[in-house]
Structure 1
Amino acid sequence: MSMQHIKLGSQGAVVSHMGLGCMGMSEFYGERNDEESAATILRALDLGINFLDTADTYGIGDNEELVGKTIRPRRDEVFLATKFANIRKKDDPSYWEISGKPEYVKSACDASLKRLGIDYIDLYYQHRVDPNVPIEDTVGAMAELVKAGKVKYLGLSEASSATIRRAHKVHPITALQTEYSLWERHVEAEILPTLRELGIGFVPYSPLGRGFLTGSITKPSDLPSGDVRAQRYPRFAGENFDKNQMIVDRVRAIADRRGVKAGQLALAWVLARGEDLAPIPGTKRRKYLEENAAAADIKLSDAEIAELEAAVPQDEIAGERYAAANLKSIDKSE
């Protein structure tokens, strides 16, 4: 396996073509195993995956601490991304507030640097756009972090095309992180063309449909204890699950014919979308990390890409990508 490195955006960032999403190591997807998670991070570096993704909200700070402690001896090998804006509380994990206030941006960055135990953050994202604070004010505060040497590159997450354009005028944006996979292609209409016009890199998260596209989740009971997917993501719930399973079965059939796993084929499809994007499939186990990394060696023909897309018609996918409460936090500015 050879992991290609790409230019992420036009500001000088270089990352592995595939990254590692660390969220599930600390929350949301069942029980934690910090030892195995740390081993997974180190194995990623051994495989040439240098692009690690975390956020201050994952595990309410615990994930940053885990990632920071793990990479400390190998910091110079890592391109580290973290995020701010989702405020939660240890004593009330259900509490959730979005803030893009300039004073909060600065305090959040200092707190992340402390938890991570590092001197600077390679890529600092606004995790969700605050509708009550002009994006110019938030990005202006982020730009000051760059001037102070605390951050190298700036990013946005789940931002609309209009917001991206406004932000980019204040300070060059290096990357946008948004959900993208075979079964979630909303960015293709307007957002992805905007990114390419402006020279902004793209970081697809959940490129495996939160694990559904791996084909390993065949019934709701396959989700581990403590897993929130059935509650937070309608595609995993009720009749939607069964309808979407039929779609995944088609992907698995194509993968079987090719002699690879369904998840590897789904990742290969995302990687084939261009050398200006770096998907960040998440896992907390070395076994699945290695499977994901091997997808970088799968080259798809135009006919195979067309067959995959025909197997996953967007109008057949059952359920929204988020529950209603979470959808409200997605920026739709025009």
Structure 2
Amino acid sequence: MKYVDFGKTGLKVSRIAVGGYPFAGVNKAQGWDPYSDEGRKTAIHTIHTALDLGINYIDTAAGYGNGHSESIIGEVLKTRRDECFVASKVSYKGIDKRGVMESVEASLKRMQTEHIDVIQFHGGIYDNESYDHIVNGGLLEGLQELRQQGKVRLLGLTTEDAHSALNLCNTNLFDVVQVNYNIIYQAAALHLLDLTSEKGMGVAIMRPMTSGIFQRLMEYLSPNMAQHEDLYSLCLKFLLSDSRVHIINAGMRWPEEVERNVQLVDSYDPPLDIVNLPRMTVKIYETDDLRNGFVPSN
């Protein structure tokens, strides 16, 4: 397994992490039900497999199945807590400082651990009201108190929309950000990832496989291509090629999915850094000319 520094957090993390949503989501068409006895056993086995293969980061949320995902993860942590870092989330909507702290305490109990390594505000799109509620409404203060008590180590936030998280990241009050970034949703590459790199924040990625949207789209646009496994690996390779990305949170239901992901991560050597990818037509033209021996005109 390949490991990287998680920004300036002091954590050395595996490039791929166990994403906890599948442990709370039912997919009957694929025979997946983590609420059944058999499904729960499989999920626990999957997490054990991940740790066995060197994955050392698990991400979940209190909101995943009203704590169901955390409870499954807790069955593993009770015997292997020192082998991994654990991240969870707390809502910021319709909740006050006390509610935030009580939510984290409940997460600790479900996961059978005395501390959470990364606690994140579970967010989608942050408006000015959200920013004020988090920073000035006591919510952030609640997490800071929990950190002082040793119950959480690092503070973070998650976001579906990179641009809306810029103000929160600019406060310098957060250690980690988890953002929706993938081969079809690349807004974070335009601004947020440069900011996090500058500040030394840890960067985790949500929806690395586009939550299946890319694959579903290709079923309609190019059915032959959609049948190839390359679509899956293409999504993962895109993120592995961006040096600003530290952790890729991948939802993995079965042990064989873990094995496939670990093999791909271990075998892939990025041919470029996405940081240097041209993102304007003029840059495409210029680099095309340079590749073909033409000197740019002044």
Answer yes or no: is 1:155 the counterpart of 2:156.
Answer: yes
Distance 1:117 1:271, change over 3 A: same
Q: Which residue of 1 aligns with 2:286?
A: none
* 305 and 109 in structure 1: CA distance in 2 versus 1, 3 angstrom threshold: closer
| Unaligned segments of structure 2, at least 5 residues | 280-298
CA distance in 2 between partners of 1:99 and 1:176 (Å): 22
Partner residue in 1 for 2:285: none
Match of 1:324 in 2: none
1:10 aligned counterpart, secondary structure: coil
Q: CA deviation at 1:148?
A: 0.6
Say yes or no: does 1:53 pair with 2:54. Answer: no
Contact 1:270 1:279 in 2 (8 A): yes
- Give the corresponding residue for 2:114: 119
**Structure 1 residue 248, shift from structure 2 partner:** 9.1
1:250 to partner: Cα distance = 7.7
Identify the match of residue 25 of structure 2 among 24, 27, 30. 27
Contact 1:81/1:125 (8 A) holds in 2? yes
Q: Which residue of 1 aligns with 2:271?
A: 301
* Aligned-pair Cα RMSD in Å: 2.8
> 2 CA distance for matches of 1:125 and 1:248?
40
The runs of 4+ residues in structure 1 deviating greater than 6 Å are 303-307
1:210-249: CA deviation from partner (whole Å, max 9, x where unpaired): 1355x5xxxxxxxxxxxxxxxxxxxx5xxx6755x53992
State, as a whole percentage, how many aligned pairs show the same letter.
Answer: 24
Whole-Å Cα distance in 2 between the matches of residues 59 and 287 of structure 1?
24
1:203 CA drift (Å): 0.6
**Matched residues in 2 for 1:247 and 1:194: separation?**
38
- Distance (Å, rounded) in 2 between the aligned partners of 1:57 and 1:193: 29
Offset, 1:11:
2.5
Matches within 5 A, 1:222-301: 242-243=219-220, 245-246=221-222, 249=225, 252=228, 261-274=230-243, 276-296=245-265, 297-301=267-271
Equivalent AA in structure 1 for residue 133 of structure 2:
V
Q: Within 5 Å, give how 1:130-209 maps onto structure 2.
A: 131=130, 133-136=133-136, 137-158=138-159, 160-166=165-171, 168=172, 171=173, 173-209=174-210
Q: Which amino acid aligns with 1:181?
A: N
Q: Is the 8 A contact 1:263 1:292 kept in 2?
A: no
Q: TM-score if structure 2 supplies the norm length?
A: 0.78
How far did 1:277 drift?
1.6
TM superposition shift of 1:102: 1.6
- How far the C-alpha of 1:25 sits from its partner, in A, is 1.8
Cα shift at 1:21: 0.3
8 Å contact 2:2–2:15 — kept in the other structure?
A: yes
Q: How many aligned residue pairs are there?
A: 259
The one of 83, 88, 95 equivalent to 1:82 is: 88
Cα distance in 2 between the residues matched to 1:306 and 1:250: 28
Letter paired with 1:164:
C
Change (3 A) 1:246 1:111: same
Instruction: Report the equivalent of 2:5.
Output: 7
Contact 2:205–2:245 under 8 Å retained in 1: no
Q: What secondary structure sits across from 1:300 in the alignment?
A: coil
Matched, 1:67 2:68: no
1:16 equivalent in alignment to 2:14: yes
Q: 1:5 to 1:100 in 2, by over 3 A?
A: farther
Three-state SS of the structure 1 residue aligned to 2:66 is helix
What 5-or-longer segments of structure 1 have no aligned partner?
87-97, 216-235, 256-260, 310-334
